[in-house]
Each structure stands twice: as structure tokens, then as C-alpha cells.
């Protein structure tokens, strides 16, 4: 590590120090809590800290035998406020759920506890996880750490991305329904893994759209994402989508490189209307992959365009979200975030026949893309069409909000529809210092391939080693986050 503190250390770095006795889990947690105290008043990534639970878990991790403890033992993390944590409210971004106290840990949090990870707290999210910009007008919007003026952190796993990017935790859990892991990862300059539905249990995670919801980690390195994914994947009787899906080892081949792998830029729709600086940075990744021995080309993916062009597509997520949040929408609409409630209500216009027809169409496209990608190991596309915009620009009007929301979740949302797995990694910065992300798509259930390709790129570049300057958080003139 570049310095002696846990800030900006990777999980692999921290694990090595803990195993060698140079750092204890308790000391690690205490130092990160101190860092949170220093910076998070401005960043607003955490909605709730859990020092008592964290200290107890850290003490338990210290008691673990060094020879028996795994690589995640004693490693701190945070969880998006959709994940049930026993005795803590799961508020899903709204004060209306302040009394929604979880009776037990969700499956993923329980799995991480079993391998010794230390939960420091819960992070902010967009209300009901329904928004890619990362804006929450109820609880407040986390501040993208790469700019002193409030910029979009990306959503809906906004607080998780900000916490990792700012060096407050090495990993945070997120969910991804239309890009909610990958979008904030790209806008905040970190790594985000979108898993195939069925790989990771969603039991005990507040749902947005069960047809598309997935769970994944946000980290500072691809290896860290692989380490966490290895621990949280697997069947769970509480989530029927995981039934019959065997776990796989993504660590064994992670560092095998990309020599002779078939990597293609995904054409048809992914590069349309993309900001010039974003496209340039993503296209330049081809040179890196070629230098590593990959066979780089282009692939036309008609299923991507077809998925996005479906007329009823915009109604699927709000339709399922309406069903789950019916009482809140019926009885408390005026108390909900004005950018969320009315949009969610549009889902009630989707008829049952149209709903089932849409699901059947998506099932067809998921089968077709397997054939389209039969000779392709990974697709390379921009994670988002745009970098982080100022919040004031996004919130200037409902039209501006919807425009930006589309710009940052089109490319990711297509992957949810087609049930592809994906990793977003940093691939550059704008002249003003805002991060750019490239997305590596792999076929369903091939997280090992997506992570392997992402790792090779990351190790051949230096983008992931850059960190934001947080001096602005201590300045009295820094603009408050709305």
C-alpha cells in the first residue's frame, strides 16, 4: 500500500496486513470510522453507522486463527440501505420506512459475516432504488467526491460508490436493476460487478423489479470484486432464482490474461449519442487489449437495440415496483420524492397481457443473444453515455432529469434485460477530472470471463490508482449537497 492507513487500500492489501499482524481488524475499523467522521459530513455516503456491531465483528475476527481465517476476515464494508441488517431499519431511501426494522440479516450480509467481514454501516440510496442519477430529495444526495461542486454520484447505489471512491470502505454492497451498481461505479471511478440473476441471493433485499434485480459489490479493484463475489454467490432456498445454479471459482483463472480471447466492441446501439470524451476513452481500450494478445474486433448486437426499442420497456420496472410499494403510493404519494413517485405510478398503465408479452419477448432475446455472441468472449462498451453532470443541471427541470437518467443507464439497462453479467472499470478521465468507465459484458453466468478481462485491463493501466482530492470537504465554501 502507498500509505500506512486503511484509506484506499484494497481488500487484498488489508488482508495481507491483517494476516501478518501489522494491522488488527479493530484498528482497521476504528481508523475507517475516524475517516468517515472527517469526510462524510460533506460526502453524505452513510445514512447510518453501526459502530457497536462493527466493533463486535472486528473483535471476533481478531479471535480467528490466522491459519484458518480467509482473505475477507476482518475486512470492513458497507451495505446499501436495501439490505436487511438485523435490528436496523431498511428504509430504501425514504423516511416513510423508518420503522421498517429488519428481523434478521439478509442472506448476503449473513454470508459476509460468516467469513469475518465487518459491517461499518448502511449507505444512502435513491428512493426505492429507482433512479440512475443518484439523486434523493428526501434523505439527501451523496456528493460525488471527484468535484467540489455537487455532481451526480450515479444511482441507485449512490452512497456505496461514494464511500468506496472516497476511501471510507474498501467495498460496499449494491443492487443493480438497470445499472445501479455499474453507473455509480463509472461516475465515481471505481469497479462495479453486475451479476447474472440467479448467481447471488436477493433474499432480504428490498426489491425494485424482481425480473431484473441483481446483487453485486462495488470495490476499488477487480480482484476485490472477485473475492467478494466468490463469498456471496451460491444457491439459497430463500431465493428461487438461485435453485440449481452451482457456484463457480472465479479466482482460479482471474489472472490468466486475455491472450487469444475474442473481445469485440458492441455496436448497434451502445455507442450512439455517447459523449465524445467517453467514446474516445472506451475505444482506446482496444489498443490495450491488443497489446495483451486479445483478438479485438467489432460485433453487431441486434438484440441490444431490440431490447431497448421495446415500446413497453419503460413500464416494466415501475409496474413491478408499484406492486411492491402499493400502500406507500396509495397513501403517501405526496410525501415521496417528486422525481420518483409519479414516474413509478406510470407502471399501472401496463396491462397484464402486455406485461406477460414483454417477459416472453425478453426471454426470446436472451436466447438469441447467446447465438449472436457464440464467437465472442466479451463485449466492450461505454458504461454510461455521459460522465457526472452537476446536480443543478440535472435537477433544472423534469425533462433534464429524465434525459440524464437515460444517458447513464441505457447501456447498462440493456444488460439487465438480456441477463448478461458485466464489470465496469475506470478507463480514463475528462480534462476536468471526472471519471469515465468502460463496461465488459460477458454471456450469462460467465462472471469468471468478465472479471478476467476486466482484471487484465486494470493491471495494464493506471486509472484505478487515482483517488479524488477531498480537500474541498473541509472548506467552508464547499457547496452543500441537496
Rounded to whole angstroms, the Cα distance separating 464 from 435 reads 10
C-beta neighbour count of 470 within 10 angstroms: 18
Rounded to whole angstroms, the Cα distance separating 388 from 18 reads 36
Rounded to whole angstroms, the Cα distance separating 176 from 275 reads 23
Task: Establish whether 424 is a catalytic residue.
Answer: no
- Collapsing DSSP to helix, strand or coil, 480 comes out as coil
CA angle 244, 366, 420 (to 5 degrees): 75
Rounded to whole angstroms, the Cα distance separating 243 from 264 reads 32
C-alpha cell read off for 216: 453485486
Where do runs of H (alpha helix) occur along 260-382? 276-283, 285-291, 302-309, 313-324, 326-332, 341-345, 352-372
Rounded to whole angstroms, the Cα distance separating 162 from 428 reads 18
Task: Establish whether 180 is a catalytic residue.
Answer: yes
Residue among 45, 80, 157, 160 flagged as catalytic: 80
Rounded to whole angstroms, the Cα distance separating 286 from 262 reads 12
> Terminus-to-terminus CA distance in the chain, angstroms?
35
C-alpha cell read off for 476: 467552508
Would you say 43 and 143 are in contact if contact means Cβ atoms under 8 Å apart? yes
Residue among 45, 158, 160, 180 flagged as catalytic: 180
Q: Which of 356, 435, 463, 478 is nearest to 162 (CA)?
A: 435
Would you say 453 and 447 are in contact if contact means Cβ atoms under 8 Å apart? no
Residue among 15, 45, 122, 156 flagged as catalytic: 156
Q: Which of 173, 140, 177, 179 is nearest to 47 (CA)?
A: 140
Which whole-number Å values give the CA distances from 481 to 35, 163, 188, 337, in the listed order? 19, 15, 16, 16
Q: Name the residues annotated as catalytic.
A: 80, 156, 180
Amino acid at each position: 500500500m502507498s500509505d500506512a492507513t486503511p484509506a484506499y487500500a484494497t481488500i487484498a492489501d488489508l488482508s495481507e496486513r491483517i494476516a501478518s499482524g501489522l494491522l488488527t481488524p479493530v484498528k482497521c475499523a476504528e481508523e475507517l470510522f475516524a475517516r468517515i467522521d472527517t469526510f462524510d459530513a460533506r460526502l453524505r455516503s452513510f445514512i447510518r453507522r453501526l459502530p457497536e456491531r462493527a466493533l463486535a465483528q472486528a473483535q471476533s475476527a481478531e479471535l480467528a486463527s490466522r491459519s484458518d481465517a480467509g482473505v475477507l476476515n476482518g475486512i470492513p464494508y458497507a451495505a446499501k440501505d436495501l439490505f436487511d441488517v438485523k435490528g436496523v431499519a431498511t428504509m430504501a431511501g425514504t423516511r416513510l420506512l423508518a420503522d421498517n426494522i429488519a428481523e434478521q440479516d439478509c442472506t448476503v450480509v449473513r454470508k459476509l459475516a460468516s467469513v469475518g467481514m465487518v459491517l461499518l454501516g448502511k449507505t444512502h440510496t435513491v428512493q426505492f432504488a429507482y433512479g440512475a442519477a443518484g439523486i434523493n430529495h428526501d434523505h439527501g444526495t451523496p456528493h460525488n467526491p471527484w468535484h467540489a461542486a455537487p455532481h451526480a454520484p450515479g444511482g441507485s447505489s449512490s452512497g456505496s460508490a461514494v464511500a468506496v471512491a472516497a476511501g471510507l470502505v474498501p467495498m460496499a454492497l449494491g443492487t443493480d436493476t438497470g445499472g445501479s451498481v455499474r453507473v455509480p461505479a463509472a461516475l465515481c471511478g471505481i469497479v462495479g460487478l453486475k451479476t447474472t440473476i440467479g448467481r447471488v441471493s436477493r433474499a432480504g433485499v428490498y426489491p425494485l423489479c424482481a425480473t431484473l434485480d441483481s446483487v453485486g459489490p462495488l470495490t476499488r479493484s477487480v480482484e476485490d470484486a472477485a473475492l467478494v463475489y466468490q463469498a456471496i454467490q451460491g444457491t439459497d432456498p430463500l431465493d428461487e432464482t438461485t435453485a440449481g445454479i452451482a457456484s463457480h471459482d472465479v479466482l482460479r483463472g482471474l489472472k490468466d490474461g486475455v491472450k487469444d480471447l475474442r473481445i469485440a466492441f458492441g455496436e448497434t446501439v451502445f455507442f450512439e449519442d455517447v459523449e465524445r470524451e467517453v467514446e474516445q476513452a472506451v475505444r482506446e481500450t482496444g489498443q490495450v487489449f491488443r497489446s495483451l494478445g486479445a483478438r479485438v474486433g467489432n460485433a453487431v448486437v441486434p438484440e441490444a437495440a431490440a431490447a431497448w426499442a421495446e415500446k413497453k420497456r419503460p413500464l416494466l420496472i415501475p409496474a413491478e415496483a408499484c406492486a411492491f410499494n402499493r400502500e406507500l403510493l396509495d397513501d403517501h404519494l405526496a410525501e415521496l420524492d417528486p422525481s420518483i413517485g409519479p414516474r413509478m405510478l406510470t407502471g399501472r398503465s401496463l396491462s397484464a397481457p402486455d406485461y406477460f408479452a414483454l417477459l416472453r419477448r425478453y426471454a426470446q432475446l436472451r436466447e438469441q443473444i447467446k447465438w449472436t455472441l457464440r464467437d465472442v468472449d466479451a463485449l466492450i462498451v461505454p458504461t454510461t453515455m455521459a460522465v457526472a453532470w452537476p446536480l443543478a443541471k440535472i435537477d433544472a427541470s423534469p425533462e433534464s432529469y429524465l434525459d440524464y437518467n437515460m444517458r447513464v443507464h441505457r447501456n447498462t439497462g440493456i444488460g439487465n434485460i438480456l441477463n448478461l453479467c458485466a464489470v465496469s472499470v475506470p478507463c480514463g478521465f475528462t480534462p476536468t477530472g471526472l471519471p469515465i468507465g468502460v463496461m465488459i459484458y460477458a454471456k450469462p453466468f460467465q462472471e469468471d470471463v468478465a472479471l478476467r478481462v476486466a482484471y487484465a485491463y486494470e493491471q495494464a493501466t493506471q486509472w484505478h490508482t487515482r483517488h479524488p482530492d477531498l480537500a474541498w470537504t473541509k472548506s467552508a465554501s464547499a457547496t452543500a449537497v441537496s
